[in-house]
Chain A
Amino acid sequence: MSVLVNKDTKVLVQGFTGKNGTFHAEQCMAYGTQIVGGVTPGKGGATHLGRPVFNTMNEAVRTTGANASVIFVPAPFVLDSIVEAVDAGIELIVCITEGVPTLDMLKAKRYIETVGGVTLIGPNCPGIITPGECKIGIMPGHIHRRGKIGIISRSGTLTYEAVAQTTKLGLGQTTCIGIGGDPIPGLNHVGALKLFQNDPETEAIVMIGEIGGTAEEEAAEYIQSEVKKPVVGYIAGVTAPKGKRMGHAGAIISGGKGTAEEKFRAFEKAGMAYTRSPAEIGSTMMELLKSKGMA
C-alpha cells in the first residue's frame, strides 16, 4: 500500500511537449511511472517520447484510461489546465508550475470542492512519489527507498533532505508528498496526514513546514486528536525576518503571524516529536521509533 499513487497509476502530462514537460516526463518514465500520453492543444495525433499527444484532456482520458495528470504548463494557463483535468474525470492532479496567481487558486479550489472526488497536489511543488512504483514530479527518484515513513512537505529540496536522511538510516518511505510552497495549496498538511493515518504500510510520518499561514498549527491539532502514528515535525524559517517573502509565495510572516516559533509551540502543545535541526529529521524519527519499540 501507499497513498494516492502506485504502479497502476496512469498519468497524462499537461504541457507534454514543452521543455519542462518533456524533460521530466522522460525522467518519470525512466523511473517506471506509467506515463500514458500527454496533451498539447494543436499537436494532437503526434507522438512524443513514444507516447500519444492529444488536443484535449477529454480525448486523452477516453483513449488512455488515465486517472492522474501532471501539469507543467506556464502559470497563466494553470487554472485552465486544472479545470480541464477535473472535467475530464482525472482523480489526482499534480501541479508543478510555480507562480500561479493566488486568486486563480481560490477559483480552482472552489471548483474542485464543488465537483468532489478530486485531489490536487501543488502548485509550486516537487510532486508525489511512491518509491519503486510511481513518481509524478521533478524529485530525484534515486534518493528514495521503499520503506515505512510517509513524508509531507511544503518545500522541494528540503523534502529531498528528509528523504535522503530516512533512506540512509534504512527507514525508507511509503510515499512522499510535496504539497508546495504557495499560500493556497491543493492538498494541505491535514489532508495528507489523513491519507497516511489510513495507509496500513505507513508506520510513521515526517511533516515539514515553514513560516507563513497557520496550516502547521492546524496540523498539530489534527495530529493530537486523530493521528495514532508517530510524527516528527520540522519548521524552516526560524531566522526569517518579518514581512519578507522567503522564496516561496506562501513563506511570509505577515502581521506578526505565521512565525516558526508559533509553529514549534503548536507542536509542543500537541505533544509531538520535533527537531529544530534540518540535519536531524531522520535521526529524530529513528529515536522516536526506537522509544516505541518500532525500530
Chain B
Amino acid sequence: MNLHEYQAKALLAKYGLPVQQGVLAATPEEAAAAFDTLGGKFAVIKAQVHAGGRGKAGGVKVVKSREEATDVTKSLLGTRLVTYQTDALGQPVNSVLVCEDMYPVERELYLGAVVDRGSRRVTFMASTEGGVEIEKVAEETPEKIIKVTVDPLVGMQPCQAREVAFALNLKGEQIAAFTKLMLGAYQAFVDNDFALFEINPLAVRANGALACVDAKIGIDSNALYRHPELSIQRDKSQENERELKASEFDLNYVALEGNIGCMVNGAGLAMATMDIIKLYGGQPANFLDVGGGATKERVIEAFKLILADPSVEGVLINIFGGIVRCDMIAEAIIAAVKEVHVTVPVVVRLEGNNAELGAKLLSESGLKLTPADGLADAAGKIVAAVKA
C-alpha cells in the first residue's frame, strides 16, 4: 500500500524528520487559505497522486500569490495526471499539497531504503545526486550511491548514519542533524513495516538546514493488520478499478494489454500461462490467480472481472487441480459460464484429480467450452479461437 506525499511527510515528522511545511487542500479556496497560512512569498502546489515524475508532468507548480494558488489548484483538481510511471489514463488528482518555498537550496541529496532481498537486510541508500531518478544514478554512476545494510539484531547505529553523513560531504552541525534524521527514518521503517522509503530530494538549504522536500513510502501489505492507523489512509481512488474489485474477492488480478483473458490457480502457473499464450502468438489480457479452492463463487467473480475488460475476445482457464477434484471445478466453470452469459470462446485445461471426468462434463455441457489436453494444446487452441 502506498502513501501520499502528505501522509508520508506527516508520518516522518512524527519521527523527528525535518519535513517541508505543507497544508493539504481539496478545494481552490483551501489552497488560497493555505498560501496565506504558509505566509511565504512563493508556494509550491503539488498534486497528490500515487506516482513519481509529477514535476515533468505538470503536477508541481510554483505560485506567487493566493490568486495564482487558487487558479493552479483549480486546474489540477479533478484531472488525471499522466506521468512516466502511470498508465495512459493517469492517476486522479483529488487534492494538492500547498508547500512552503524551499529555494534556493545549496544541494539536493537522496536518501532511500528497501528490504534488500540479496542481503536479507534493510538497506539504506544515499547519494549526493538528489532530485533525479535514483535508478538512473545507480545505472550510470553506481559509485555515487552509498549503501548501508542494517543487521536486525542491533538495528541501525549512529556510526552507520555518521558514515553516510561524512560521505555526503555534510559539515559541522549537519552531521548530527543528518544522523538524527537517518536514525529516525530507520525507526519509522521498522515500526511501520515500510516496503519502500524515499526522500528525494533531501535539500540542504542555503542556511545549512536539512529538509525532506518529497517523501515516498510504501507499506508491506502483509503487515497492514498491525497498522490500523495506516490502513485507513489507503486511497482506493489511486488503484486500478478492476484490481481493486478483485482484491475484494481475494482474487489476484493485474490488467494487461492483450485480448486473451486468463483464469488460473496459483501465481506461478498464472504467469506461465500468460507467457505460453505469448509464445503461441497471442496476447494475454490479464493475470488472474483464483487461488487454491476454485469454487463456483470465485470462478463467477473471476469471469465477471475478465469480461469487464472490453478487449477480451477469448478466455483460457488453466487449473491444476491438486487436491480439489477437476470434475468439481468443471461444474463450477459450467455454472459460472451459464450465470455470467459468456459469449466469447473459452478453452479449459484441467489437470490432476479426475481430469478426464472434468473434460467430459465440459464437452457435454452444450456450452462453448473447448477442453484442452495440456498447457501447449490449451495455448494453441485459444490463440487460434481468438484469431478465427
- Measuring CB to CB, which residues of chain A are less than 8 angstroms from any residue of chain B? 27, 75-76, 99-107, 109-110, 114, 138-140, 142-143, 153-161, 164, 181, 183-184, 208, 210-215, 218, 234, 236-241, 243-251, 255-256, 260, 276-280
Neighbouring A residues of B118 by C-beta, 8 Å = 213-214, 218
Chain A: which residue is nearest B133 at the CB level? A255
B289 within 8 A of A: yes
Residues of B near A75 (CB, < 8 A) are: 222, 225
Interface centre among A157, A210, A215 (most CB of B within 10 A): A157
> Assuming A140-B321, A157-B269, what are 8 further A-B pairs, CB within 8 angstroms?
A103-B193, A138-B292, A155-B272, A159-B268, A184-B120, A211-B271, A236-B268, A239-B278
Residues of B within 8 A of A (CB): 85, 115, 117-118, 120-122, 134-135, 138, 151-153, 190, 193, 195, 220-223, 225-226, 252, 254, 256, 264-279, 284, 287, 289, 292, 320-323, 351-353, 374-376, 379
Closest Cβ of chain A to B245, distance in Å, is 16
Q: How far is the CB of B88 from chain A (nearest CB, A)?
A: 13
11 contacts between A and B (CB under 8 A): A103-B115, A103-B190, A110-B151, A114-B153, A156-B268, A156-B322, A241-B254, A246-B271, A256-B135, A276-B279, A280-B376
Residue from B122, B151, B190, B270 having most chain A Cβ neighbours under 10 A:
B270
CB-based contact B117/A76 at 8 Å: no
Known contacts A248-B267, A277-B376: does B276 contact A213 (CB below 8 Å)? no
Q: Are B353 and A142 in contact (CB under 8 A)?
A: yes
Smallest CB–CB gap between B185 and chain A, Å?
A: 15
CB neighbours (8 Å) of B225 from chain A are: 75-76
Within the assembled complex, what's the spacing in Å between the Cα atoms of A104 and B321?
32
Within the assembled complex, what's the spacing in Å between the Cα atoms of A280 and B135?
36
User: What A residues does B117 contact at CB under 8 A?
Assistant: 183-184, 212-215, 250
Whether the pair A161, B272 counts as a contact (CB closer than 8 A) is: yes
Q: How far is the CA of A153 from the CA of B122 in the complex (A)?
A: 25
CA A133 to CA B48, docked complex, whole Å: 57
Bound CA–CA A107/B122 (angstroms): 11
Picked from A160, A184, A215, A244, the residue with its CB within 8 Å of the CB of B254 is A244
Shortest Cβ distance from residue A49 to the other chain B in the assembled complex, whole angstroms: 16
**Interface contact A247-B322, CB-CB below 8 Å:** no
Q: Is the CB of A247 within 8 A of B222?
A: no
- Whole-angstrom distance between the Cβ of A189 and the nearest chain B Cβ: 12
CA distance A107 to B155 in the complex (A): 11
What is the minimal beta-carbon distance from B292 to any residue of chain A, in angstroms? 8
Whether B268 and A157, one on each chain, are in contact in the complex, defined by CB atoms closer than 8 angstroms, is: yes
**Given the complex of chains A and B, what is the CA–CA distance between A212 and B114 in angstroms?**
14
CB pair B284–A239 under 8 Å, yes or no, is: yes
Q: How far is the CB of A155 from chain B (nearest CB, A)?
A: 2
Expressed in whole angstroms, the minimum distance between the Cβ of B115 and any Cβ of chain A is 5
- Residue contact B276 to A140, C-beta cutoff 8 Å: no
Tell whether, in the assembled complex, residue A279 and residue B376 are in contact, meaning their CB atoms are under 8 Å apart: yes
Q: Which of B254, B279, B376 contacts A246 (CB 8 A)?
A: B254
Chain B binding surface, main DSSP class: mixed
- What is the CA–CA distance of A213 and B116 in the complex, to the nearest angstrom? 9
Indicate if the CB atoms of B274 and A240 lie closer than 8 Å. Answer: yes
User: Closest CB of chain A to B118's CB: distance in Å?
Assistant: 6
The distance from the CB of A228 to the nearest CB of chain B, in whole angstroms, is 25
Known pairs A160-B320, A255-B135; A140 contacts B193 (CB<8 A): no
Q: Are B276 and A279 closer than 8 Å at their CB atoms?
A: yes
Closest approach, in angstroms, between the C-beta of B261 and any C-beta of chain A?
14
A171 vs B254: C-alpha distance when bound (angstroms): 36
| Set of chain A residues within 8 Å of B269, measured between Cβ atoms | 155-158, 160-161, 236, 278
Identify which of A101, A164, A251 contacts B193 (C-beta below 8 A): A101
A181's partner among B190, B268, B273 (CB-CB below 8 A) is B268
CB-CB under 8 A from A158, the residues of chain B are 266, 268-269, 271-272
A277 partner residues in chain B, CB cutoff 8 A: 276, 279, 375-376
List the A side residues contacting B320 at CB < 8 Å: 157, 160-161, 164
What is the chain B residue whose CB lies nearest that of A107? Answer: B152
Q: Which chain A residues border B376 with CB–CB below 8 Å?
A: 277, 279-280
A261 → B minimal CB distance (Å): 11
Q: Which residue of B lies closest to A159 (CB)?
A: B268
Bound Cα distance A155, B118 (Å)? 19
Bound state CA distance, A210 and B269, in angstroms? 10
| In contact, A106 and B122 (Cβ under 8 angstroms) | yes
Contacts of A183 in B (CB 8 A): 115, 117
- A residues near B322, Cβ cutoff 8 Å: 138-140, 143, 156-157, 160
Q: Do the beta carbons of A102 and B195 come within 8 Å of each other?
A: yes
Does A102 contact B276, Cβ atoms closer than 8 Å? no
When distances are taken between beta carbons in the complex, the residues of chain A under 8 Å from B353 are 140, 142
CB of B141, distance to nearest CB on chain A (Å): 15
* CB of B310 to closest CB in A, whole Å: 19
Q: Do A106 and B278 touch across chains, with their CB atoms under 8 A apart?
A: no
- Chain B proximity of A224: nearest CB distance (Å): 18
Neighbour of B266 across the interface among A157, A215, A238, A243, CB < 8 A: A157
B289 touches A247 (CB 8 A): yes
Give the nearest-CB partner of A242 in chain B.
B85
* Separation of A91 and B134 alpha carbons in the complex (Å): 42
Expressed in whole angstroms, the minimum distance between the Cβ of B249 and any Cβ of chain A is: 14
Assembly CA distance A292 to B223 (angstroms): 48
Q: Which residues of B contact A99 (CB under 8 A)?
A: 222
Residues of A contacting B256 in the complex (Cβ-Cβ under 8 angstroms): 239, 241
* A101, A114, A181, A208 — most chain B CB neighbours (10 Å): A101
Cβ contact within 8 Å between A106 and B120 = yes
Given contacts A110-B151, A110-B152, A110-B153, are A236 and B222 in contact (CB under 8 A)? no
Q: Enumerate chain A residues within 8 angstroms of B278, measured Cβ to Cβ.
A: 238-239
Cross-interface CB contact of A238 among B122, B151, B275, cutoff 8 Å: B275
Contact status B223-A102, CB under 8 Å: yes
By a CB distance below 8 angstroms, the chain B residues around A100 are 222
Give the Cβ gap from B171 to chain A, nearest Cβ, in Å: 31
Q: Known: A238-B275, A246-B270, A278-B276. Is A157-B193 also a contact (CB below 8 A)?
A: no
Expressed in whole angstroms, the minimum distance between the Cβ of A17 and any Cβ of chain B is 19
Q: Once the chains are docked, how many angstroms separate the CA of A158 from the CA of B275? A: 13
Residues of chain B within 8 A (CB-CB) of A138 are 292, 322-323
The chain B residue sitting closest to A249, CB to CB, is: B222
Q: Which residue of B lies closest to A139 (CB)?
A: B322
